[in-house]
Structure 1
Amino acid sequence: MRVIEINQTLLTPSERAVPVPSGQQVLVRVAAAGVNRPDVMQRQRLYPPPPGASDIPGLEIAGTVVAVGDEVKHVRVGDAVCALVTGGGYAEYCLATAALCLPVPSGLSFVEAAALPETFFTVWSNVFDRARLAAHETLLVHGGGSGIGTTAIQLAKALGANVYVTAGSEQKCQLCRALGADAAINYHEQDFVDQVLALTAQRGVDVVLDMVGGAYLARNIKCLAEEGRLVQIAVQQGAKAELNLWAVMLKRLTLTGSTLRARDDGFKAAIARQLYQTVWPLLAAGTVKPIIHATFPLNQAALAHDMMESNQHFGKIILQVAL
């Protein structure tokens, strides 16, 4: 089968044997695979795959099940699925855990379905489970034009919250507002702390979803209302920052965060069940939809990474594996 390997820090096409599923695994003939920031970091040797995971990049796929392990009960050969995987997505065939496979939502293509697992699992787990965002509360999302951002905007609005975002251009701000964001702040031209406090009559927001880290920590805390929650899902500008504990104590804040890739299948399967019950009907109804910026053929994965690193995209970048 065709695959994309990481050699040094380069993505190169190669050939490997088709894997064989066992136990609770299924084998998916991949039609499309999502490109995500962790893939870029893995290529840069900053984010190695967890023990036991494939060294081939790619954390989300969509395609057709062609074989199943002997313990698989609810997924069948021929099913059209999308799946969260720990690696191996940049390939013609990929192993996935059956419990992490979800049916392709009604009306969506494989390319659209491949844009779902990584961002939807991440947003659901962090914004709704860990940060407990509720209807009528307010969420601030940094990087509103990213795959995570476009997903968080839509899910939070669909479930009754108010949403503010930051983005790096006026065009991205306009696109975020068109997706449903109540306000979009161009962080190159405006101070997001001042803007958030003005928008909330100095109260602040209930939840901040941050993937920046570094100096954003202190600024995020200033943005939070009493009993606010900051959830950290990446540290693109650094993992270390100075923290004023008085601000945390006086406003009774919760600071939390998580990574998803290394969590066990049982934890991820619980998220899959919640998504199927709550979010999949929204996708089928068109209330929520994946936002696709660009698609590339599998052998142009390096160009897809270049686009992601340029930060010019809005929404998801997808590799089209099978036509």
Structure 2
Amino acid sequence: MKAVVITSPGGPEVLQLQEVEEPAFRDDEVLIKVEASALNRADTVQRKGFYPPPKGASPYPGLECSGTVVAVGKSVSRWSVGDQVCALLTGGGYAEMVAVPAGQVLPIPEGVSLRDAASVPEVACTVWSTVFMMSRLSPGETFLVHGGSSGIGTFAIQIAKHLGIRVFVTAGSEEKLVACKNLGADVCINYKLEDFVARVKEETGGKGVDVILDNIGGPYLQRNLESLSMDGRLFIIGFMGGAVAEVNLSCLLSRRLTVQSAGLRNRSIENKAQIVSEVEKHVWPAIAAGKVKPIVYKSFPLSEAAEAHRLMESSSHIGKILLIP
């Protein structure tokens, strides 16, 4: 089969489409012929050499895909050859075929095309596991997501609004803020033009928001803490701005704040299966009802993975970027 290989750590040019061996699959796995894979920021970090695949995982990038089941392991009961599915991956999505543990496979959401379904598993599992399962964001609360026009952001806005939550977003251009507003965001903040802490305090009568989902890291840590309400929860899922910060911890004590951080890729197979099950139970009905829709910005052929990475790193896109074998 063909797969995108990281020939050495570096820029987008190190991504090369090559002939490789088809993946072997275990008794508890299914083999999927890939219809599409979606880009995630983690792919660019892996390409640079800073996010190696977990032991035993595919060396090829790609953390989610959609496609058709072409083989099933002996102990797999739910899935059959011919099923159209999407899946949360530990790697290997930038390829024509990928092997996946059966518990990380999902049916195609009702009303979504097979191709567009590739854009859903990673963002849905990330947002649901962090914001809802761990930070317990609940109807009637307030929620700030940084990078509201990203794949994570566009999904988070929609699912939070569907569940009766007031949504704040930051983004870096008026075009992106308009897109966030159209998806349901209540308060849209251009972080290049105004201080998000002051705006959050203004919009909440000085209280702050209940939950923040952040992928910036160090430079935003103190400001995020200042933006949280009493019993507020900050969840960090990335370090795009850097991983080091100096903070005043007194606000943690005085307002009973919680700071958490977690990735998805290195979780156990059992934990991922639990998250996937929760996503199917809670998110898939919202998609079927038209309350949450995949936001796909652009698709590239697998041979143009480098161009797709350049687009992602330019941050000029809104929503998800797909690769098509």
TM-score grouping bracket, smaller chain normalisation: over 0.9
Does 2:156 match 1:152? yes
Letter in 2 for 1:5: V
Paired residue for 1:93, among 88, 93, 97?
Answer: 97
> Aligned partners of 1:180 and 1:109: how far apart in 2?
23
- Separation in 1, partners of 2:123, 2:51: 18
* Structure 2 residue 271 is the aligned partner of structure 1 residue 271: no
Residue in 2 aligned with 1:258? Answer: 262
Q: Which residue of 2 aligns with 1:209?
A: 213
Q: 1:241 aligns with which of 240, 245, 248?
A: 245
For residues 3-55 of structure 1, the C-alpha deviation after alignment (integer angstroms, 9 at most, x for no partner) is 11001131001001222322101000000001110101111111111111111
In structure 1, list runs of 5 or more residues that go unmatched. Answer: none
Say if 2:214 and 2:236, in contact at 8 Å, map to a contact too: yes
CA apart distance, 1:142: 0.3
Alignment partners' CA distance in 2, 1:63 and 1:54: 17
Residue equivalent to 1:127? 131
How many corresponding residue pairs?
321
Q: Does 1:219 align with 2:223?
A: yes
> 1:299 is paired with a residue of what secondary structure?
helix
Aligned position for 1:320: 324
Within the alignment, does 1:282 sit opposite 2:286 as a pair? yes
Counterpart secondary structure, 1:208: strand
- Alignment partner for residue 189 of structure 2, among 185, 188, 193? 185
Q: Deviation of residue 111 (structure 1)?
A: 2.0
Shift of 1:160: 1.0
Gaps of 5+ in 2: none
- Kindly report which structure 2 residues correspond to 1:49-68, keeping only aligned pairs within 5 A, or say none: 49-68=53-72
CA deviations 1:219-264 (Å, max 9, x no partner) are: 0011000000000001111111112121100011011110110001
Q: Which consecutive segments of 4 or more residues in structure 1 shift more than 6 A?
A: none
User: 1:177-235, CA deviations, whole angstroms, 9 ceiling, x for partnerless residues?
Assistant: 10000011000011101111001011100001000011200000110000000000011
- Counterpart amino acid of residue 289 in structure 2: A
* Contact in 1 for aligned 2:159/2:291 (Cα 8 Å): no
Partner of 1:193: helix, strand, or coil?
helix
Q: How far apart are the structure 2 equivalents of 1:17 and 1:42?
A: 21
Maintained 8 Å contact 2:43/2:61: yes
Read off the aligned partner of 2:300 and give its amino acid letter: F
Structure 1 residue 196 and structure 2 residue 193: aligned? Answer: no
Q: CA deviation at 1:144?
A: 0.3
Take 1:281 and 1:124, find their aligned partners in 2: how far apart are those partners?
14
Q: In 2, distance between residues paired with 1:185 and 1:172?
A: 10
2:116 is paired with a residue whose SS is: helix
- The whole-number CA distance in structure 1 between the counterparts of 2:15 and 2:21 is 18
Choose the corresponding residue for 2:42, options 20, 38, 59.
Answer: 38
Measure the CA separation in 2 of the matches of 1:230 and 1:190: 21
1:76 deviates by 0.8
* 1:3 aligned residue: 3
Percent of pairs with identical residues:
50
Output the amino acid matched with 1:7: T
What is the identity, as a one-letter code, of the residue corresponding to 1:4? V
Separation in structure 1 between the aligned mates of residue 45 and residue 250 of structure 2, nearest angstrom: 34
TM-score by length of 2: 0.98
AA partner of residue 27 (structure 2): G
Q: Are 1:16 and 2:17 matched, yes or no?
A: no
Corresponding residue of 1:291: 295
Q: Counterpart in 2 of 1:301?
A: 305
